[in-house]
Amino acid sequence: MPTFFNSWLPFIYLYVGGGIFFIAGLILIRKTKALDMRLKRHRFWWKVLIFGYFYFMAIHAFLIIAALYL
Amino acid sequence: MEQIHNIGTQLDWAVLVIYMITMLLFGSYFAKYNKDTNDFFFGGRRFSWWLIAMSIVATGISSHSFIKYSAMGFKYGFSSSMSYMNDWFFVPLFMFGWLPIIIYSRIRSIPEYFERRFSPFARFLVTVLQLLYLIGYVGIGFLTMGKAIMPLMPEYFSFFGYQIHVTLMGLIWVTAAITGIYITFGGQTAVIFTDLVQGTMLLVAGLLVFFLGISYVGGWDSFWNLLPKSWKLPFAGFNEPAEFNSVGTFWEDAIAGSVGFLFMNMGLIMRFMATKSVHEGRKAAAANVLFMLPISAIVVGGGGWVAKAISVMNPSIIPPDINPDSVFIVVSNILTGPGVFGFVVAAIAAALMSTVSTLVNAASAIYVNDVDRPIRIWLKKLSRDKHLPEKKAMLVARISTVGLTLLGVLAVYAFVSYPTVYQAHAFFHATLTPPLMVAIFFGAFWKKFTPAGLITTVIGGISLMLLGNRFPYELIRPIAHGTPYDPVHPYTYMSALYNLIVCVSLAVLTTVFRRQLKKLSDIIIDSKKHFIMYPIIGFTVIVVVVDILVAVLKLETFSLELLLTSTILASFFVALISTHYIKYDAERQTQGLTIWSINKAMEMYKGKKVNEREGEVVKVHWKLIKDDNDDVVNFSERDMHKMAAEVGDLVYISDARKYLGGLKSVHSVYGEPHNEDGIVYIRKRHLEHGLFVDGRILIAEKEM
> Does position B268 have pLDDT exceeding 50, yes or no?
yes
Residues in chain A: 70
Element (H, E) at B136: helix B120-149
CB contact under 8 A, A33 and B294: no
CB contact under 8 A, B598 and A39: no
> Does position B260 have pLDDT exceeding 70, yes or no?
yes
CB B311 within 8 A of CB B318: yes
CB atoms within 10 A of CB B603: 16
CB B397 within 8 A of CB B462: no
pLDDT of residue B5: 61
Paired sense of beta strands B665-670 and B650-655, if any: antiparallel
Nearest CA of chain A to the CA of B250: how many Å? Answer: 7
CA distances, B359 to each of B141, B183, B188, B460 (Å): 9, 10, 11, 28
Lowest mean pLDDT among B25-39, B167-181, B689-703: B25-39
Quote helix, strand, coil % in chain A, to nearest 5: 80, 0, 20
Q: pLDDT (tens digit, 9 = 90+) per residue, B452-483?
A: 999 999 999 999 998 998 899 999 999 999 99
Element (H, E) at B619: strand B618-625
For residue A29, give the nearest of B96, B230, B599 by CB distance.
Answer: B96
- Cβ neighbourhood burial of B163 (10 Å; 0-12, 13-18, 19+): exposed
pLDDT of residue B417: 67
CB B560 within 8 A of CB B471: yes
Q: Which residue has the higher pLDDT, B190 or B281?
A: B281
Q: With b meaning 16 or more CB within 10 Å and e meaning fewer, what string describes B288-298?
A: bbbebbbebbb
Nearest CA of chain A to the CA of B272: how many Å? Answer: 17
Distance, in Å, from the CA atom of B619 to the CA atom of B642, rounded to the nearest integer, reads 11
In chain A, which residue's Cα lies nearest the Cα of B236?
Answer: A6
> Does position B38 have pLDDT exceeding 70, yes or no?
no
Element (H, E) at B294: helix B293-313
Confidence band, pLDDT 50/70/90 cuts, at residue B175: confident
Distance, in Å, from the CA atom of B655 to the CA atom of B620, rounded to the nearest integer, reads 10
Nearest CA of chain B to the CA of A70: how many Å? Answer: 9
Distance, in Å, from the CA atom of B618 to the CA atom of B1, rounded to the nearest integer, reads 63
Question: In this structure, what DSSP letter does residue B94 have?
Answer: I
> Does position B633 have pLDDT exceeding 90, yes or no?
yes
Q: Where is mean pLDDT largest: B22-26, B58-62, B130-134, B294-298?
A: B294-298
Residues B260/B265/B269/B270 CA torsion (nearest 10 deg): -170
For residue B142, give the nearest of B411, B374, B430 by alpha carbon. Answer: B411
CB contact under 8 A, B229 and A1: yes
CB B69 within 8 A of CB B301: yes
Three-class secondary structure of residue B35 per DSSP: coil
Q: pLDDT (tens digit, 9 = 90+) per residue, B388-411?
A: 787 788 788 878 878 888 888 888
Confidence band, pLDDT 50/70/90 cuts, at residue B1: very low
> Does position B183 have pLDDT exceeding 80, yes or no?
no
Q: With b meaning 16 or more CB within 10 Å and e meaning fewer, what string describes B643-667?
A: bebeeebbbbbbbeeeeebbbbbbb
Q: pLDDT (tens digit, 9 = 90+) per residue, B522-554?
A: 999 888 777 889 999 999 999 999 998 998 888
Lowest mean pLDDT among B130-134, B370-374, B567-571, B575-579: B130-134
For residue A29, give the nearest of B97, B233, B614 by CB distance.
Answer: B97
CB contact under 8 A, A21 and B86: no
Phi first, then psi, for residue B555 (nearest 5°) are -70, 150
CB B47 within 8 A of CB B196: no
Which residues of chain A does B286 touch, with a Cβ-Cβ cutoff of 8 Å?
48, 52
Q: Whole-number mean pLDDT of chain B?
A: 86
Nearest CA of chain B to the CA of A53: how many Å? Answer: 7
> Does position B52 have pLDDT exceeding 60, yes or no?
yes
Residues B585/B591/B596/B599 CA torsion (nearest 10 deg): 170
Sheet containing strand B632-633, edge to edge, reads B632-633, B665-670, B650-655, B698-702, B618-625, B679-683
For residue B250, give the nearest of A13, A39, A59 by CB distance.
Answer: A13
Q: Rounded mean pLDDT of B624-646?
A: 91
Q: Rounded mean pLDDT of B631-648?
A: 94
Q: With b meaning 16 or more CB within 10 Å and e meaning fewer, what string describes B382-403?
A: beeeeebeeeebbebbeebbee
Q: Rounded mean pLDDT of B356-361?
A: 79
What number of CA atoms fall less than 13 Å from residue A16's CA on the CB side? 7
Element (H, E) at B668: strand B665-670
In chain B, which residue's Cα lies nearest the Cα of A16?
Answer: B89
For residue A53, give the nearest of B88, B237, B294 by CB distance.
Answer: B88
Distance, in Å, from the CA atom of B1 to the CA atom of B327, rounded to the nearest integer, reads 12
Q: pLDDT (tens digit, 9 = 90+) per residue, A1-37?
A: 778 888 899 999 999 999 999 999 999 999 999 999 9
Distance, in Å, from the CA atom of B378 to the CA atom of B398, rounded to the nearest integer, reads 22
Element (H, E) at B680: strand B679-683
DSSP B215-267: HHTTSHHHHHHHS-TGGG-SS--SS-STTS-HHHHIIIIIIIIHHIIIII-HH
Which residues of chain A does B223 touch, with a Cβ-Cβ cutoff of 8 Å?
none
> Does position B239 have pLDDT exceeding 70, yes or no?
yes
Q: Any bridge partners for residue B607, and if so which? A: none
CA distances, B36 to each of B113, B188, B393, B668, B687 (Å): 22, 11, 9, 18, 15
Nearest CA of chain B to the CA of A12: how many Å? Answer: 11
In chain A, which residue's Cα lies nearest the Cα of B447?
Answer: A32
Using CB atoms and an 8 Å cut-off, which of residues 9-68 of chain A contact chain B?
A: 9-11, 13-14, 17-19, 21-22, 25-26, 28-29, 32-35, 39-41, 45, 48-49, 52-53, 55-56, 59-60, 63-64, 66-68
